[in-house]
Structure 1
Amino acid sequence: MIFHQFFEADSSTYTYLLASEQTREAVLIDPVISEVEQYAAFLEQHDLQLVYSLDTHVHADHITAANELRTRFGCKTVLHRNSGVVCGDIFITDGSAIRVGELLIEARYTPGHTNACTSYVVNGMVFTGDALLIDGCGRTDFQEGNPATLYDSIHLQIFSLPDDTLVYPGHDYKGRVSSTVGQEKRNNSRLGQGRTKAEFITLMQNLKLPYPKHIDVALPANKVCGK
């Protein structure tokens, strides 16, 4: 498997490229519109064909590159069916799978940050979007957020994976690039150490986070795939 992690500094967003060494087909998870030239250069350098663009959810902090990539490369736009977005090409649900050469990418529905949050599992890795972050999780105070739902999603869909599963989040604000399921179960400041659902709900309801700085631009754009 070919793997590369991109980073967009303004929103501290990670984008992930996964590709088959056999077929040279590639997918991008959570692509950012400002970074399209970087993706294009990597694809050309490694002789890869982009076949899918996957968004883990409808983002509020950056504009997706989904439509730009579809226009430029002819790839399919993939979103969860609960996203409320009508411009996608493929709408997945829990347990859906996307095959790219020898890679089988499994979708696990992980709502709670938004209604459409989906994590992707492949080859001992899980791409968690904004559901589970390194030593944190997505906020639950806007965009259909629900702390009880997020708690269940993370425990049932992510913490149920083997402890050595590598966790690749949608963001990190401290320069960390990955974690493991075991590390997050033990050490996550919001969810680790056996924190109960009631404790988690109380914590999330009292975070008093600032209004997302890009939401008024990003959210409307992402509802039309970044057009």
Structure 2
Amino acid sequence: MQVLVETLVNQCRRFYKIGTLTMSRSLSQRKCLSNALTESVPFSRDFLFRQYFDPTSSTYTYLLADVKQQEAILIDPVIDWVERDSKIIQELGLRLKYALNTHMHADHITGTGRLKLLLPGCQSMISRTSGAQADVLLEPDDRINFGRHLLEVLPTPGHTEGCVTYVCREQGVAFTGDALLIRGCGRTDFQGGSPETLYNSVHSQIFTLPENYRLYPAHDYSGRTVTTVAEEKLLNPRLTRSLDDFVNIMKNLNLAYPKMIDKAVPANKVCGLYGVCEEKEQ
């Protein structure tokens, strides 16, 4: 009987210790989240940031600019909205230096090609590993300058082979494409996708950024516009799991075949110019 009592006491102590450690970790995580939410990096006065939305594909397009030198870049433009984008850029007195994509999209046609027709002098950009054409093929750790500002190119494959994340460290922001979404991530079952690769990309490239960095994805389907590194490290229901759990989740999503993929991918391989040249000649 005494042995049984001692065993039960030891088990209670062990469970109490585990529970205390778990609670301690949870409180520590919540404190980090609280700090990240209240200590975001303020934008400098010469930095312009605008976020636009395509309701058809739930795609976000981002306009960044140096307001003093009047140089701008556009991230993930959608072909249906290039007239809107070019008009805003002209109204603000900016010169579009680059139109760039986070990856070769499968749910919409990029606007980079048509923007080059509307705003001569603009160059297109995409990662070399995407397999798409562009004026500038980006490599890991490349720097994209616009005025005095710059973006760093981080390789974050897994959704597709050519996914990258663009980071502006001075402003404390990163543009994650489909690699990391708000409380989610891009699918991994086409275009060279790999759940193992995506998991490692997010954990090694995005989750190692400062926790108060704001993250802007390529899409959101619930009206959310921004998240932070701390939020996703604590709250992302997929990427907070173990690698094995994540792989199992991604392999059992049973998602429908993308509606636009057969049209979008061939167009995006040629910078979105598929069909545009023919229209211009008519």
* TM-score scaled by length of structure 2: 0.78
- Decide whether the 8 Å contact of 1:22 with 1:102 is kept in 2: no
**Rg (Cα) greater in structure:** 2
Q: What is the match of residue 122 of structure 2?
A: 75
Post-superposition Cα deviations, 1:107-133, rounded to whole Å, max 9, x if no partner, equal 100000001101000120000000000
Question: 44, 51, 61: which one pairs with 2:97?
Answer: 51
Q: What is the match of residue 266 of structure 2?
A: 220
Gaps in structure 1 of 5+ consecutive residues: none
Post-superposition Cα deviations, 1:45-84, rounded to whole Å, max 9, x if no partner, equal 2110000011000000000011111122121111101111
Question: 160, 183, 203: which one pairs with 2:231?
Answer: 183
Question: 244, 249, 256: which one pairs with 1:203?
Answer: 249
Give the aligned residue type for 1:157: Q
For residues 9-158 of structure 1, what are the structure 2 equivalents within 5 Å? 9-73=55-119, 74-85=121-132, 87-122=133-168, 123-158=171-206
Structure 1 runs (4+) deviating above 6 angstroms are none
State the Cα distance separating 1:21 from its structure 2 match. 1.4
- Decide whether the 8 Å contact of 1:63 with 1:222 is kept in 2: yes
RMSD of aligned alpha carbons: 0.7
Give the aligned residue type for 2:247: I
> How far, CA to CA, are the matches of 1:102 and 1:190 in structure 2?
37
Alignment length, in residue pairs? Answer: 224
Q: What is the match of residue 216 of structure 2?
A: 168
Post-superposition Cα deviations, 1:163-185, rounded to whole Å, max 9, x if no partner, equal 10001000000000000000000
Structure 2 SS opposite 1:136: coil
* TM-score scaled by length of structure 1: 0.97
Give the aligned residue type for 1:34: D
> How far, CA to CA, are the matches of 2:244 and 2:123 in structure 1?
40
> How far, CA to CA, are the matches of 2:124 and 2:87 in structure 1?
20
Structure with more helix by fraction: 2
Structure with more strand by fraction: 1
Structure 1 SS opposite 2:129: coil
Structure 2 SS opposite 1:105: strand
> How far, CA to CA, are the matches of 1:44 and 1:21 in structure 2?
13
